[in-house]
Each structure stands twice: as structure tokens, then as C-alpha cells.
Amino acid sequence: MSGAAATAAAIRAGTTTAAAATEAALEAIAARDGAINAFTEVTAVRARAEAAAVDAALAAGRDPGPLAGVPYAVKNLFDLEGITTLAGSAIQRGRPAATRDAFLVRRLRAAGAVCLGALNMDEYAYGFTTENSHHGPTRNPHDTARMAGGSSGGSAAAVAAGMVALSLGSDTNGSIRVPASLCGIFGLKPTYGRLSRTGSFLFAASFDHLGPFARDVADLALAYDALQGEDAEDHAQQWRAPEPVSQLLDAGTQGLRFAVAGGHFARNGHPECFGAVEAVARALGATATAELPLAAEGRAAAFLVTMAEGGNLHLPDLRTRPDDFDPMTRDRFLAGALLPAHWVQQAQRVRAAWRAAALRAFDDADVIIAPATPYAAPAIGQEMVEVDGQRIPVRPNLGVFTQPISCVGLPALVVPLAAPPGGLPIGVQLVAAPWQEATLFRVAAALERSGVAASPPVRS
């Protein structure tokens, strides 16, 4: 599949149509998704209607938007009108269908994009692997015996497999960045509060972010530009004027200060994750180190707060329908519901101290370079992994480098290494101070131009 920018340009130029692009995407889903299991619902009727509207607008001389005819899909915690929002669960199946689209889905539709469906995820977004017991595991397009990551695994896999040009995911503790790294694509977790969350099924409201996936920086920028918009219904949104990053991709990195994350971020992983960081740091001329004290403590706080918020949210169903939860999530939700308030309050204090320490790091750096995942994609079903001479659980450790960042709401953009050590995809986090997404896009675009960052080819 062509990228978003190329598809929209061809449709606007009249060399193809939105209808043709939609049919090609539907054919790709039919051909590839049986092996990947990214989609939980394909909205073919809706997609064809939206494509026809784009083509009709062009025929009438109207501008259908910057994403004219671009196929995309969304994690199945985004509301799609007429469809029940499953959020990866079985419990939601009997509940009413959404009466309107999520805010970000409406933004993409207004930009001319065409929605092809809903995507697999960990139940209620609680996981890093998308090994969903209800819907089956999503498989990594680069090796179908391996994990796609999570909880937005279907969103990353659908883009990496070339079934759609763009997708939307959510990120509580790393759920955009982990699958972006394991699937070898670009993923953005914006600043907390930057993008509206109206019409999405939240996991832990004080942590949840929404954001896009794409196979290149220009496409990611087009999606991010389209997603920005003020939403009076989202009281957590910290509205700022739109920041059109697509216009800044050629600005380069001159004048920017870089540092490599040390301490917690310089251990807890395999050689391939640190090799990826070194490659990016070398390309950017980064020699300074940002020690980032309290990162490990911040991660511990993130575990407790998200458990407590998630357990509280699902307590009614935990009391009445415990056996209907995915076994992969049920015990963690139950544990969260039973956490002492004292522990949660202490975790919030640690979280605040970690945030203050993290923000101080940007006195000396504009962008901090950190690993995205501690290793490349593990095998589906793999329980344990050896790290730093110790055997530890695979699944929770996938978020070892992402949890501290989302815990305090910093923007982060994952870039896939063009030639990853060992051959399997792996990404690197570019992290900035709040509201500095434009800087992250400048740096990611420079890394892409230099050949250091790139998505692997789509496997047929």
C-alpha cells in the first residue's frame, strides 16, 4: 500500500480514486489479516460510502481534505458509530453500539480519510502484547511467531503489514510506543492532554494518551496535524492552538541539544536496544547524558496508579462478571481494586517528584534519546526472558522504558531503526518537554533523511 501522503496526492491529482484506494486496502486486509489478526471488525460498507463522498467532493470541485481517500483503522477502544466499542473485551459485546464517532475519528473523517475498521488490542488496554484471549493474538508482520506488542498491537500490525496507511492507538504506559518498536513503524504519544479523548474507552484516565501510527514521518505528521482540534467535551484536554508540524519536517536539527538517557534507561535491556540508541545518538551527534533520577521509582508509581484507576473503573464487572474477563488481565484489575489508599497516595507523591526531576533534564537538552523496548519482539506465549543476568517476566518488562515517560505526560515519538541489530525491528524513543511535538518531528525527519530511521519493507 502507498503511504498516506502519496495516496492523498494521487487522489487529488485524479490519477486514482478514493474508491480504488479503498478497494485495494480491503483486498490487502482479506489477503493478509488471516495471518496477522489485526482487525476485529472490517467496516467495508462505511469505507465505501466515505470513499464515494471523497470522490464526489473532488468531482464537484470541493477540497475533501489533506487526507483525501487515505485508508486508516482504529484500536477498538475508539467509538465508531453503529458499532459496539469492545475495548478488547467480551463483556462489552452485549452493550449498546456507539451513537457517534470518537472525536479523533471525526477529525480524520473531516480531513478526508476513510475508516476501514477496528483493531485488536489487549483487553481494556491492560497489556503490552495483544495476546488477547477473546480475539486471539495479533502477530508481528515481520515474524508471525512473534508478538506485535500492545496494547495497540492491532494498530501497529495493520500499518506494518501494509493493510492501512495510518492507524490510531492509545498509550497509558507504552501502548503506542511498544508496538511501534516491535513492528518497526513510527508512533507518536503526544503530550498528555494535547489530543481529545472523547469517545474512547479509557483505562487509567490520568495516564491515557491517544495518538497515530504510520510508516514514515511525513504520514505521521499529516495524521497528527489532522487530529489536533479543540474539544469542549474533553475536560482533560489542555487546549493549545494547532501546531502544523508537516511544514517543519525540513527544518533540520541545527541548534537543538541532545542527550542520551542514562541510569534506569541504560540498563534493563538487551544489546539490540542499546545498539539502536547508540546509532541514533551517533547520527545526531549526541554525547551528553541525561541521568533522569527517580525514573525507576516513577515506573513503580505508574504500576500502582494505573492498577488502582483500572480496578476502580471495572469494579462493578469484577464483582458480578469476574469470569468474563480475559485471564491475562483479571487478576491485575482485582489487585488494583484492592490496593490500599495509602499505597496509591504514596505513589502519587513519587510520581510528582519524578515529574519534577524529568522536567529539570530539559534545562540542558531539547531532546532525550532513550530505548523504546528492552528487546525485539519475543515469541508469542513466551513467559520469561533473561535481562542483566536475571530471569524476569517478558510482558511487564516490555514497558520498562516507556512507563516512566507516560507517567509524567511527556511527548515521545518512536523511530524504527533502519538496520536493527539482529534483523528484527526495534525502535528508539525521542522524548521532549511538554508541548514540544514539533521538535520531535524535526528530529525524526532528519533521522529518516539520513537513512538511520526507516520502516522495514512490507512483507508479502
- Cα separation values, 228 from 1, 106, 177, 424, Å: 25, 11, 20, 33
Q: Could you give the C-alpha distances from 111 to 63, 219, 220, 300, in angstroms and in order?
A: 9, 13, 14, 40
DSSP assignments along 408-455, one per residue? TT--EEEEEBSS-TTSS--EEEEE-STT-HHHHHHHHHHHHHTTSB-P
Look at residue 458 in the predicted model and tell me its pLDDT: 92
CA 176 vs CA 181, 202, 398, 425: distances in Å: 9, 14, 12, 15
Per annotation, catalytic residue among 89, 155, 170, 175: 175
Q: What is the pLDDT of residue 50?
A: 98
Digit-by-digit pLDDT tens for the chain (460 residues) are: 789 999 999 999 999 999 999 999 999 999 999 999 999 999 999 999 999 999 999 999 999 999 999 999 999 999 999 999 999 999 999 999 999 999 999 999 999 999 999 999 999 999 999 999 999 999 999 999 999 999 999 999 999 999 999 999 999 999 999 999 999 999 999 999 999 999 999 999 999 999 999 999 999 999 999 999 999 999 889 998 888 999 999 999 999 999 999 999 999 999 999 999 999 999 999 999 999 999 999 999 999 999 999 999 999 999 999 999 999 999 999 999 999 999 999 999 999 999 999 999 999 999 999 999 999 999 999 999 999 999 999 999 999 999 999 999 999 999 999 999 788 999 999 999 999 999 999 999 999 999 999 999 998 7
Residue 316 domain-assigned?
yes
Residue 380 lies in a domain: yes
For 35, the grid coordinates are 495471518
- What confidence score (pLDDT) does residue 89 get? 98
Please give the full DSSP string across 66-87, using - where no structure is assigned.
Answer: TTTT-EEEEETTB--TTS---T
- What does DSSP assign to residue 323? G
pLDDT for the residue 422: 80
pLDDT at 30: 98
Say what the pLDDT of residue 2 is: 87
Q: Cα–Cα distance between 263 and 257 in angstroms, integer?
A: 19
Evaluate whether 184 touches 160 at the Cβ level (below 8 Å).
Answer: yes
Burial of 59 (0-12, 13-18, 19+ CB in 10 A): exposed
Number of H helices, E strands in the chain: 15, 17
Query: Is 460 contained in some domain?
Result: no
**What range does the domain containing 332 cover?**
4-449
Catalytic (active site) residue 151: yes
What is the reported pLDDT for 421? 78
Report yes or no on 297 lying in a domain: yes
Number of independent structural domains in the chain: 1
pLDDT digits (tens, 9 = 90+) for 356-367: 999 999 999 999
Is residue 35 within 8 A of residue 142, CB to CB? The reply is: no
Looking at residue 40, the DSSP 8-state letter turns out to be: E
Residue 457 lies inside a defined structural domain of this protein: no
Residue 195: name the closest of 210, 180, 206, 181 by CA.
Answer: 210
pLDDT at 252: 97
Nearest to 307 by CA among 328, 285, 333: 333
In a domain, 407, yes or no: yes
In a domain, 458, yes or no: no
CATH of the domain at 44: 3.90.1300.10
Give me the half-sphere count of Cα atoms (radius 13 Å) on the Cβ side of residue 208. Answer: 26
**CA-to-CA distance for 270 and 328, rounded, in angstroms?**
25
Q: Is 75 a catalytic residue?
A: yes
Record the pTM. 0.98
Looking at the domain assignment, is residue 373 inside a domain? yes
CA distance 324 to 73: 27
